[in-house]
C-alpha cells in the first residue's frame, strides 16, 4: 500500500502546474451556459489543446499525451487547484470518446477525436426523451434505413450543452418490433445544424440555457456516423458506462479544489462558535479526501487489470450528493450574500443541483448498487 | 502509487476472519457481558497469538511494530466479529509505554497477550477495568499504574464494562506520548467501527433476502434497497479514509477516518434496526451486539465534534495548504 506518486508522475505534475500557472485566465470566464461564455470556454479548449492538455489520457495521435489514469488524476488535481475554467467539451471527452475507443472505427476516431480535443466541435448528449428518462430503453425516436445511411425522427430532451453545441450523440430505435425494449437500438452521431434539426434551448433553474429540446424530422445521417453495429446501440452505450467513465466523469481534483476554497471562505467569514457550520465545512474537507482516496484505490485496481463495473454507481451518488452539500455550506457561510446569483458559489450551487438527476438518476444508481453489488432480488421499480 | 492491500495483508485479514468465525464470538460476547470473562480471555490469547497486539509494540520489546496498516486490517476484522475486551485500549497502552524501564517490564507481556491492559485519563472511564490486569492512568503529564478500579457501570453496549480507575499508584513515566497514543487508539477505533458497519450491512442484506412479506422477499422493495445502498456507499467511502490514515498516521487524517467510520457504522446500525423490524430491537437477537457497539464507538476516543475540529484546525495531510 503506497500513496506516493512516482518521480515520473511528480515530474508530470510539475509540468502541468507550470503550464497552468502561465495560461489559466486571471479572471473567471463568463458562465459556460451563456452564448458569450460558451465561446470563451471553446477558445480555452483550443488553448489547452494547442499544448496537448485537453485530453491527456488520449493517444498522441488524437491530440492527447497517452498518459495513464494516475497522471490523468494528477492533471485534474492541478487543473482545478489552478482555478482553471469548467470544461465545455466534457460531454464529448468523457462520454463519447470512451465509446469511440471501445466501439468506434479507426476512421471515426481519426475524424472525430482531434476536433473534439481542440473544442472545434463541441458535443451534446441526446439520450432522454419526453417519455424515456430513467426508463431510457423505452425511447421512441427512430432511425430509418435510407440510401447510404439513416433518417432520424423524433424528439430528444434535456440535452446538455445542445443550445450552443455543434453535434450530438444518442440512441435511436432502428428496429421497431423487438421482443425487448433495449433491442433494436442504434448509436448515432448527428449534426445539430443539419436540415431537419430544430434546437429549442431550455432555461435551467436560473434561466440559463444549459440544455435543450431537439426536434428531429427526417435528419440524414451517413453510415459512417453510426457507432458499432446497427441494433446493438444499447450494448455499445452501456459497455462504457461502468468502466473508466465511472472514474472520469467527475474527478476528485475538482472537489479537492472546491473544498479548499470553502475552507478559505470559512476562515474569512466563519464564526468559530458556530460548530454546526464548522462541522459541515470539516465534512466537505473529509469528503473530498475520501473521494480522492476511493478513486486512487479504484485506479490501482484498474491498472492491475481488474474490470470496474457497478462500483461506478457508488461514485455517482457520492459525488452528486457531496457537491450539493458543499455548495449549500458555502451559501450558508456567505449569509445574506449567499442568495446573490452572480457569484461562482451560486453558479456552482445551481450546477450541483442537477447532479443527482443526470447521468442516471441516483435512484437508478441505488438500484444498481442494491442489485449488483449487494445481490438483492430484482423487483418492481 | 498503489493504494490497495497487498496479498499478505489480505491473507492476514482472511486468517483473522477464519479464527474469529470459529471462535463463535456472539457467545463469547454474551458471557463477557455477564461478567464471566473466561471465554473472552481465551479469545484474547488467540488474538494475541495471531500477532495483533505485537503490531503496536516495537521489535525491541518483542513486537513487530509499528505497523499501523496491518493494525487497521486487524481491527476491521475484530469489529466485524464484535470481539469483546479492551482491544483499542491495549493498543493505546502499548504506544504510551515508551519509557524504557516500563516498556521492558510490560510490553512483551502485552504483545503476547499475557497481559490485558486498559487506560483512562483521570476522571474518565476505563474499558473493562475489571478484567484488565494492567490499569494505566494518564494523569496530566504522568503515566501511572492504577492500584485498582471502582464499580462496573454498564455501557449501552453490554460488552463494554466501564470502570473508573483508582487515583494514585506507581509512577511509570513523567512525559507520556499521549497525542501519539490517541492517534493509534483513534485509528484502531475507526477500523473497528468500519468492521462493525460492514457486519451490520452483511447481516441486514442476508435478512432482507430471506424475510418474506406480501409474498416476496422484502429486499426486492426499493424502499429497502435504497437504504442499504446508502449504507454501502457510506462504508465504501470510509474504507479508503481508514487505510489512508493508517499510511500517514497524521492526527488529522486519523480524526477524519474516526468520525467518518463512526458516522457510517452508526447510520448502518439505524438502517439495520429499521430493516430487521421488531426482532432487531431485542437483546436476544445477535444483531444487538453490533447495533449497540456502533453507538458506543461514536464517542469513544474522541467525539464527532472533536474529530471534525481537528480536521479543520490542522488540515489533512494531502492538503496543499499545509506544505
pLDDT digits (tens, 9 = 90+) for A163-186: 999 999 999 999 999 999 999 999
Across the interface, of A281, A299, A374, the residue whose CB is closest to B312 is: A281
Name the residue of chain A whose CA is nearest to B253's CA: A286
pLDDT band per the 50, 70, 90 thresholds, residue B323: very low
The stretch A348-371 carries a mean pLDDT of: 95
* Least-confidence region, from A42-46, A318-322, B172-176, B218-222: B172-176
User: pLDDT exceeding 90 applies to what percent of chain B?
Assistant: 93
A171 reaches B (C-beta below 8 A): no
Contact A1 B217 (CB under 8 A): no
d(C-alpha B236, C-alpha A373), whole Å: 11
Q: How many CB pairs under 8 A join A and B?
A: 162
A260 reaches B (C-beta below 8 A): yes
Name the residue of chain B whose CA is nearest to A6's CA: B1
| Surface of A (302-361) touching B: CB under 8 A | 303-304, 311, 314, 317-318
The stretch B297-304 carries a mean pLDDT of: 96
Contact A290 B237 (CB under 8 A): yes
Predicted pLDDT of residue B319 = 63
pLDDT band per the 50, 70, 90 thresholds, residue A277: very high
A180 reaches B (C-beta below 8 A): no
* CA dihedral of A363, A364, A370, A372, whole degrees rounded to 10: -170
Residue that wins the pLDDT comparison between B123 and A150: A150
Name the residue of chain B whose CA is nearest to A73's CA: B1
User: pLDDT exceeding 70 applies to what percent of chain B?
Assistant: 98
Active site residue A77: no
Please give the model's pTM, rounded to 2 decimal places: 0.96
Q: Which residues contact B192 (CB under 8 A, 6 or more apart)?
A: B75, B76, B78, B79, B87, B88, B297
A11 reaches B (C-beta below 8 A): no
A293 reaches B (C-beta below 8 A): yes
A232-243 burial, b for 16+ CB within 10 Å, e for fewer?
A: bbbebbebbbbb
Judged against a pLDDT cut of 90, whether residue B321 lies above it is answered with: no
Judged against a pLDDT cut of 50, whether residue A111 lies above it is answered with: yes
d(C-alpha B237, C-alpha B261), whole Å: 9
Q: Which of A246, A258, A366, A378 to mutate to test the interface with B (most CBs of B within 10 A)?
A: A366
A191-208 residue pLDDT tens: 999 999 999 999 999 999
- The single-letter DSSP state of residue A354 is T
B236 contacts in chain A (CB < 8 Å)? 294, 311, 314
- Nine-digit cell string for A259: 473544498
- Nine-digit cell string for A318: 457520492
Enumerate domains of chain B plus CATH numbers.
7-176 (1.10.540.10), 179-322 (1.20.140.10)
Q: Which of B207, B217, B311 to mutate to test the interface with A (most CBs of A within 10 A)?
A: B311
Enumerate domains of chain A plus CATH numbers.
7-88 (1.10.540.10), 123-233 (2.40.110.10), 241-373 (1.20.140.10)
Collapse the DSSP code of A147 into the 3-class scheme (helix H, G, I; strand E, B; otherwise coil) and give the result.
coil
Across the interface, of B69, B219, B253, the residue whose CB is closest to A1 is: B69
Mean pLDDT of chain A: 95
Residue A331 Cα, gap to closest chain B Cα (Å) = 19
pLDDT band per the 50, 70, 90 thresholds, residue B317: confident
Contact A374 B232 (CB under 8 A): yes
The stretch A144-154 carries a mean pLDDT of: 98
A28-68 residue pLDDT tens: 999 999 999 999 999 999 999 999 999 999 999 999 999 99
- 3-class SS string, A185-230: EEEEEEECCCCCEEEEEECCCCCCCCEEEEEEEEEEEEHHHEECCC
Name the residue of chain B whose CA is nearest to A300's CA: B2
- Contacts by A93-96, CB closer than 8 A, 24 or more apart: A93/A54, A93/A55, A93/A117, A94/A245, A94/A248, A94/A249, A95/A123, A95/A125, A95/A169, A95/A245, A95/A249, A96/A123, A96/A125, A96/A169, A96/A189
Name the residue of chain B whose CA is nearest to A278's CA: B309
B30-56 residue pLDDT tens: 999 999 999 999 999 999 999 999 999
Across the interface, of A3, A318, A367, the residue whose CB is closest to B222 is: A367
Mean pLDDT of chain B: 96
pLDDT band per the 50, 70, 90 thresholds, residue B175: confident
A322 contacts in chain B (CB < 8 Å)? none
Predicted pLDDT of residue A241 = 63
The stretch A247-255 carries a mean pLDDT of: 87
CA distances from B169 to A281, A311, B128 (A): 43, 54, 19
Cross-strand partners of A124 = A168
B239-285 residue pLDDT tens: 999 999 999 999 999 999 999 999 999 999 999 999 999 999 999 99
Contact B5 A297 (CB under 8 A): no
A296 reaches B (C-beta below 8 A): yes
Predicted pLDDT of residue A370 = 98
Contact A289 B237 (CB under 8 A): no
A306 with A331: CB under 8 angstroms? no
B201 contacts in chain A (CB < 8 Å)? 374
Amino acid at each position: 500500500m503506497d500513496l506516493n506518486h512516482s518521480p515520473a508522475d511528480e515530474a508530470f505534475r510539475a509540468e502541468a502546474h507550470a503550464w497552468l500557472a502561465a495560461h489559466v485566465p486571471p479572471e473567471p470566464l463568463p458562465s459556460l451556459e451563456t452564448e458569450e461564455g460558451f465561446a470563451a470556454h471553446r477558445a480555452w479548449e483550443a488553448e489547452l489543446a494547442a499544448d496537448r492538455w485537453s485530453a491527456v489520457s488520449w493517444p498522441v495521435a488524437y491530440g492527447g499525451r497517452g498518459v495513464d489514469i494516475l497522471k490523468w488524476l494528477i492533471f485534474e488535481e492541478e487543473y482545478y487547484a489552478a482555478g482553471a475554467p469548467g470544461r465545455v467539451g466534457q460531454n464529448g471527452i468523457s462520454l463519447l470518446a470512451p465509446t469511440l475507443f471501445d466501439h468506434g472505427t479507426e476512421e471515426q476516431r481519426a475524424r472525430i477525436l482531434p476536433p473534439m480535443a481542440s473544442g472545434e466541435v463541441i458535443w451534446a448528449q441526446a439520450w432522454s426523451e419526453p417519455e424515456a428518462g430513467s426508463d431510457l430503453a423505452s425511447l421512441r425516436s427512430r432511425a430509418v434505413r435510407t440510401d447510404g445511411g439513416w433518417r432520424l425522427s423524433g424528439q430528444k430532451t434535456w440535452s446538455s450543452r445542445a443550445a450552443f453545441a455543434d453535434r450530438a450523440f444518442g440512441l435511436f430505435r432502428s428496429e421497431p418490433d423487438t421482443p425487448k425494449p433495449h433491442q433494436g437500438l442504434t448509436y448515432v452521431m448527428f449534426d445539430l445544424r443539419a436540415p431537419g434539426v430544430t434546437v429549442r434551448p431550455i432555461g435551467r433553474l436560473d434561466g440559463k440555457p444549459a440544455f435543450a429540446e431537439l426536434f428531429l424530422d427526417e435528419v440524414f445521417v451517413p453510415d459512417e456516423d453510426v457507432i458499432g453495429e446497427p441494433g446493438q446501440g444499447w450494448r455499445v452505450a452501456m459497455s462504457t458506462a461502468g468502466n473508466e467513465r465511472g472514474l472520469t466523469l467527475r474527478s476528485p481534483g475538482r472537489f479537492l479544489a472546491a473544498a479548499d476554497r470553502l475552507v478559505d471562505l470559512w476562515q474569512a467569514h466563519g464564526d468559530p462558535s458556530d460548530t454546526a457550520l464548522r462541522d459541515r465545512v470539516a465534512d466537505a474537507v473529509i469528503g473530498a479526501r475520501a473521494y480522492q482516496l476511493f478513486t486512487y484505490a479504484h485506479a490501482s485496481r484498474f491498472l492491475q487489470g481488474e474490470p470496474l463495473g457497478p462500483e461506478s454507481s457508488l461514485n455517482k451518488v457520492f459525488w452528486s450528493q457531496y457537491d450539493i452539500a458543499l455548495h449549500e455550506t458555502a451559501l450558508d457561510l456567505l449569509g445574506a450574500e449567499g442568495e446573490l446569483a452572480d457569484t461562482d458559489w451560486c453558479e456552482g450551487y445551481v450546477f450541483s443541483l442537477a447532479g443527482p438527476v443526470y447521468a442516471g438518476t441516483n435512484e437508478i444508481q441505488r438500484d444498481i448498487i442494491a442489485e449488483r453489488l449487494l445481490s438483492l432480488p430484482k423487483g418492481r421499480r | 502509487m498503489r493504494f490497495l492491500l497487498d496479498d499478505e495483508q489480505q491473507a492476514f485479514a482472511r486468517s483473522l476472519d477464519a479464527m474469529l468465525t470459529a471462535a463463535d464470538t456472539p457467545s463469547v460476547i454474551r458471557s463477557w457481558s455477564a461478567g464471566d470473562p473466561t471465554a473472552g480471555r481465551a479469545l484474547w490469547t488467540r488474538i494475541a497469538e495471531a500477532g495483533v497486539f505485537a503490531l503496536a509494540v516495537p521489535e525491541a520489546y518483542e513486537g513487530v511494530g509499528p505497523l499501523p496498516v496491518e493494525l487497521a486490517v486487524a481491527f476491521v476484522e475484530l469489529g466485524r466479529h464484535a470481539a469483546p475486551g479492551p482491544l483499542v485500549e491495549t493498543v493505546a497502552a502499548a504506544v504510551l509505554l515508551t519509557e524504557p524501564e516500563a516498556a521492558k517490564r510490560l510490553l512483551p507481556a502485552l504483545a503476547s497477550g499475557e497481559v490485558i491492559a486498559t487506560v483512562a485519563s483521570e476522571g474518565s472511564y476505563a474499558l473493562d477495568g475489571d478484567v484488565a490486569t494492567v490499569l494505566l492512568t494518564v494523569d496530566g503529564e504522568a503515566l501511572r499504574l492504577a492500584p485498582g478500579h471502582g464499580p462496573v457501570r454498564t455501557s449501552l453496549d453490554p460488552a463494554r464494562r466501564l470502570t473508573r480507575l483508582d487515583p494514585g499508584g506507581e509512577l511509570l513515566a513523567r512525559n507520556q506520548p499521549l497525542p501519539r497514543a490517541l492517534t493509534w487508539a483513534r485509528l484502531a477505533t475507526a477500523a473497528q467501527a468500519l468492521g462493525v458497519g460492514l457486519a451490520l450491512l452483511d447481516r441486514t442484506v442476508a435478512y432482507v433476502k430471506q424475510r418474506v412479506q406480501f409474498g416476496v422477499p422484502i429486499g426486492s422493495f426499493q424502499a429497502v434497497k435504497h437504504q442499504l445502498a446508502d449504507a454501502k456507499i457510506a462504508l465504501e467511502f470510509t474504507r479508503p479514509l481508514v487505510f489512508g490514515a493508517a499510511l500517514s498516521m497524521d492526527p488529522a487524517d486519523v480524526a477524519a477516518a474516526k468520525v467518518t467510520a463512526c458516522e457510517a457504522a452508526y447510520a448502518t446500525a439505524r438502517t439495520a434496526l429499521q430493516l430487521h423490524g421488531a426482532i432487531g430491537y431485542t437483546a436476544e437477537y445477535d444483531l444487538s451486539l453490533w447495533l449497540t457497539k456502533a453507538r458506543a464507538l461514536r464517542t469513544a476516543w474522541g467525539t464527532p465534534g472533536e474529530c471534525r475540529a481537528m480536521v479543520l484546525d490542522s488540515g489533512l495531510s494531502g492538503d496543499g495548504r499545509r506544505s
